[in-house]
Amino acid sequence: MCHSTRASAVPVIPDSEGTDSNPFALDALAVFMFRVLQRDNHPGNLDKSSPNVGYVMLMFYHLYDGKSRKYFEDELVERFGSLVKIPLLKPDRSPLPASLISVLEEGLNLYNLHTKRHGRLESNKGSYVQEWAKWEKKLRDTLSANAEYLNSIQFMARLTAVSCQVPFEFAVQQVSEQLRKIAKGDYTIPSTEKRKLGTVVFAAVDLPVAEIQGILNKLSGMNSKAEAFLEGKPMDNFLRKAHVTLAHKKSHGVSAVASYGLYLHRQVPVELNALLFTDKIAALQAQLGSIDDEKIVSKNEWPHVTIWTGEGVPPKEANTLPQLLSEGKATVVEINPPLTVSGTVEFY
């Protein structure tokens, strides 16, 4: 849109500390829900007359799931070159009451159960209809009971002699001032982690080549199919690097690659359980382990280590091996029991 209209886009977001896994903290979510339940005649029917306000708000909240506040803001600055924040909550506010934390966590757990079983199916359908109805009522009751608190934590601005809750006009004023600075060139672009990373193209688990070669030698001595395939192939010349791709900028986006920054240079176990090959390409099937009890999940549908390609065949063609196997056009050699190597998460 910017290229076609010669306009400049500026992202404007509510200010929030966020968490390690979401750009918005629970107290921000509570305020958003509280505000929605005070609306009348909303064009999108998301107001107090809607029976599933809580579910819809949780759906919006999960759009950012897995992204910390830092990565969320870094991505916006990286893409647009600026960022404007709307005042939302007082920095010196009291902690969120236990009853609010409890009802929000209950909703988050229910949302996870529902989406795991039903995907994007609405909350008034599926296996958890009764649970959703009970929770929606509990949410409204809890927010209502904590109305005084929720009003008190929203940012206060001294507009007159009396301090009052931030009105829409004040928020507009704050946003306008920030926009003016950007338009005049008085805005200093924040340093972001991704800017430091520069031209990172993909994230991967880097594996020790010597151990991968050792596994191939061992497999060759144990299985005649593997021996026949590997025989005569100059693996020492081809296998100079070994890795399991986690996310690629072209295939999965900048944000997906950046999300692995939390684990940069950390060790992760990788289980190798099969060798798949054709006359043009070969790869080891991989299963990633955990870091600090957090399962490392590749954005690739089939995590693998490409070990060899024929002349002129790009390594990315290894992604087609499972499909070729299902069509009877590839061979598989199981590694039983699986062999485990340790690698490190790196950016390339």
Task: Report pLDDT digits (tens) over 119-155.
Answer: 989 999 999 999 999 999 999 999 999 999 999 888 6
How far is it between the farthest Cα atoms of the chain? 87
Instruction: Report the number of distinct structural domains present in the chain.
Output: 2
Tell me: do 295 and 169 sit in the same domain.
no
Claim to verify: residue 110 and residue 64 sit in the same structural domain = yes
For the chain, first and last CA: distance in Å? 30
166 and 313 part of one domain? no
Residues 30 and 167 in one domain: yes
Is position 190 within any domain? no
Distances (CA, A) of 311 to 213, 221, 233, 278, 321: 20, 26, 12, 13, 17
Identify whether residues 23 and 166 lie together within a single domain: yes
Question: Which helix (H) or strand (E) covers residue 175, if one does?
Answer: helix 168-184
Which domain does 239 fall in, by range?
Answer: 197-347
Q: For residues 280 and 140, state if they share a domain.
A: no
For residue 96, the SS3 value is: coil
- Structural domain ending residue among the three candidates 159, 184, 209: 184
pTM: 0.54
**Residue after which a domain boundary falls, among 152, 184, 216:** 184
Which residue, of 126, 157, 184, is where some domain finishes? 184
Q: Identify whether 4 is part of a domain.
A: no
Q: Do 78 and 127 fall within a single domain?
A: yes
What CATH number is associated with residue 234?
Answer: 3.90.1740.10
Residue 1 maps to a domain = no
- Residues of the chain predicted below pLDDT 70: 2-4, 6, 155-168, 191-199, 254-255
